Structure 1
Amino acid sequence: MIAAIFGSPRFSAVLATTAIGSALSVHLIKATMGWAGLVGILSTLVLFAAVSLVARRKDLDWHGVLPLSLVVFLGWCAITIVWSRYQPSSITGVIYQLTFSFLALYVALVRDLIQIVRAVGDVMRVLLTASLALEILSGLLLDVPIVFLRIQGNLDEGGPLQGIFGSRNMLGFIALIALVTFLVERNTRSVPRGLSRYSIVLAVVLLLGSRSPISLGVAGIVLVAAVAVLALRRARPELRRSLQIGMLVILVIGTVSAYFVRTRILAIVGARSEFTYRLEIWNQLSSLIDYNQLEGWGWVGLWRPNVSPFFALDFVGNRQHTSGLNAFIDVYFQLGLIGLAIFVGMVGLALVRSWILATSKKSVIYMWPALILIVLLVTSTAESVILVEYGWMFFVMCMVKAAHSLSWRQGLALKPPTVELPRARG
Structure 2
Amino acid sequence: MAVYSKHPASAPPEAPIRETTGHLMMRAWCIFVLFMALSTTAWVNAFGTPATVVITIAGGVLSVVLWIVMRPHVQWRRLPWFVIAYVLWATLSLIWTAWLEATALTLLLLYITTIQALFIGTVLTWREFVRALASALKWVMALSLVFEVWVAVFVRVPLLPGFVPRVDPVDPIFYWSRGNLFGSGRIQGIMGNANLLGPVALLAIIVFSIRIAMGAPRRTLLAAWIALSGFLFFRASSATAYVAAVGVAVVLVTVLLMRRARRPGERTKYYIGYAIIGLGGVVALWLLRGEIFATLGRSSDLTGRETIWAAVLERAAEHPVIGWGFATPWVPWDPAFDGWIIDHHQTVMQAHNMWVDVYMQLGIIGLIIMGLVYLAAVWRSWFFAVDRPRWDLREDRPYSPITLLPTLTMGILLVQGLAESAPLLGWGWLLLVLFAYKIKQSPHVGVGPAEQSVAIERGELTKRVS
TM-score by length of structure 2 reads 0.81
CA contact (8 A) 1:176 1:207 kept: yes
- The answer to whether the aligner puts 1:271 opposite 2:284 as a matched pair is no
Match of 2:192 among 149, 155, 166: 166
CA 1:358–1:296: 2 relative to 1, 3 Å:
same
Please tell me whether the aligned partners of residues 124 and 178 of structure 1 are also in contact (alpha carbons under 8 angstroms): yes
Structure 1, residues 41-95: CA drift from partner, whole Å, max 9, x if none? Answer: 22332222222222232x4132444211011100110011110011111111111
Q: Which residue of 1 aligns with 2:112?
A: 99
The one of 29, 35, 43 equivalent to 1:15 is 29
1:123: how far off?
Answer: 1.2
2:334 alignment counterpart: 307
3-state SS, counterpart of residue 156 of structure 1: coil
Q: Structure 1's 254 and 32: CA in aligned 2 closer, same or farther, altered over 3 A? A: closer
Contact 2:99 2:336 in 1 (8 A): no
Q: Which position in structure 1 is the counterpart of 2:286?
A: 259
Give, in angstroms, the shift of residue 96 of structure 1: 1.0
Say if 1:237 and 1:29 are closer, same or farther in 2 by CA, change over 3 A: farther
Deviation per residue, 1:341-371 (Å, 9 max, x gap): 1101111110111011111141111100110
Q: Evaluate the alpha carbon distance shift between residue 406 and residue 115 of structure 1 in structure 2; reply closer, same or farther with a 3 A threshold.
A: closer
User: 1:331 & 1:162 partners in 2: Cα distance?
Assistant: 27
AA of the residue aligned to 1:109: T
The match for 1:401 among 433, 438, 442 is 438
Aligned partner of residue 155 in structure 1, secondary structure:
coil
Alignment-derived partner of residue 43 in structure 2: 29
CA pair 248-135 structure 1, distance change in 2 beyond 3 A: same
1:191 and 1:336, CA in 2 relative to 1: closer, same or farther beyond 3 A? farther
State the TM-score, normalizing by the size of structure 1: 0.89
| Counterparts of 2:127 and 2:20, CA distance in 1 | 22
By how many angstroms is 1:241 displaced?
Answer: 4.3
* CA distance in structure 1 between the partners assigned to 2:294 and 2:206 by the alignment: 27
Q: How many residues align?
A: 404
Q: CA deviation at 1:259?
A: 3.1
Structure 1 residues 346, 248: CA separation in 2 closer, same or farther (over 3 Å shift)?
same
Say yes or no: does 1:127 pair with 2:140.
yes
Matching residue of 2:87: 74
**SS state at 2:318 partner:** helix
Partner of 1:285: 312
Per the TM alignment, residue 23 of structure 1 is displaced from its structure 2 partner at its CA by: 1.6
Point out where structure 1 has 5 or more consecutive residues left out of the alignment.
414-426
Match of 2:239 among 193, 196, 213: 213
User: Quick one: which of 375, 378, 386 aligns to 1:359?
Assistant: 386
CA distance 1:208–1:320, shift in 2 (3 Å):
farther
| Offset at residue 217 of structure 1 (A) | 1.9
Contact 1:281 1:313 in 2 (8 A): no
Q: In 2, are the aligned partners of 1:214 and 1:271 still within 8 Å (CA)?
A: no
Say which SS state the counterpart of residue 79 (structure 2) adopts: coil
- The answer as to whether partners of 2:338 and 2:347 remain within 8 angstroms in 1 is no
User: Structure 1: how far apart are the matches of 2:232 and 2:258?
Assistant: 31
Please list, as runs of the form range in 1=range in 2, the aligned pairs for 1:234-249 lying within 5 A after superposition.
234-238=260-264, 239-249=266-276
Q: Which has more radius of gyration?
A: 2
Judge conservation of contact 2:294–2:300 (CA < 8 Å) in 1.
Answer: no
Distance change in 2, residues 1:258/1:146 (3 Å): closer
Deviation at 1:324, TM superposition (A): 0.6
Please tell me whether the aligned partners of residues 222 and 375 of structure 1 are also in contact (alpha carbons under 8 angstroms).
yes
Deviations 1:304-353 (A, max 9, x none): 12224312334235344321110000000101111001101111110111
Residue 393 of structure 2 corresponds to none
Q: State the AA in 1 paired with 2:135.
A: D
1:138–1:144 contact (8 Å) kept in structure 2:
yes
Distance 1:55 1:227 in 2: 43
Residue aligning to 2:67? 53
How many angstroms apart in 1 are the aligned matches of 2:66 and 2:88?
25
Paired residue secondary structure (2:234): helix
Using the alignment, how far apart are the partners of 1:179 and 1:8 within structure 2? 30
The answer to whether the Cα contact below 8 Å between 1:373 and 1:398 also exists between their aligned partners in 2 is no
State the SS of the aligned residue for 2:182. helix
Answer yes or no: is the 8 Å Cα contact 2:332–2:347 preserved in 1: no
Q: Distance in 1 between matches of 2:192 and 2:300?
A: 20
Partner of 2:415: 378
Whole-angstrom CA distance in 1 between matches of 2:63 and 2:75: 15
Q: Secondary structure at the match of 2:419?
A: coil
Match of 1:392 among 429, 433, 456: 429
Q: Confirm or deny that 1:298 pairs with 2:325.
A: yes
Moved more, 34-43 or 186-195: 34-43
* 233, 239, 242: which one aligns with 2:259: 233
Structure 1 counterpart of 2:109, which letter? Y
Letter in 2 for 1:211: S
Aligned-partner Cα distance in 2 for 1:166–1:191: 32
Q: Mean alpha-carbon deviation: is it higher for 262-271 or for 151-160?
A: 262-271
Match of 1:417 in 2: none
* 2:341–2:347 contact (8 Å) kept in structure 1: yes
- Superposition deviation, residue 34 in structure 1: 2.2
**Greater share of helix:** 1
1:118, distance to aligned residue in structure 2 (A): 1.1
| Cα pair 1:386 1:392 within 8 Å, conserved | yes
Structure 2, unaligned stretches of length 5 or more?
1-18, 164-175, 389-398, 451-466
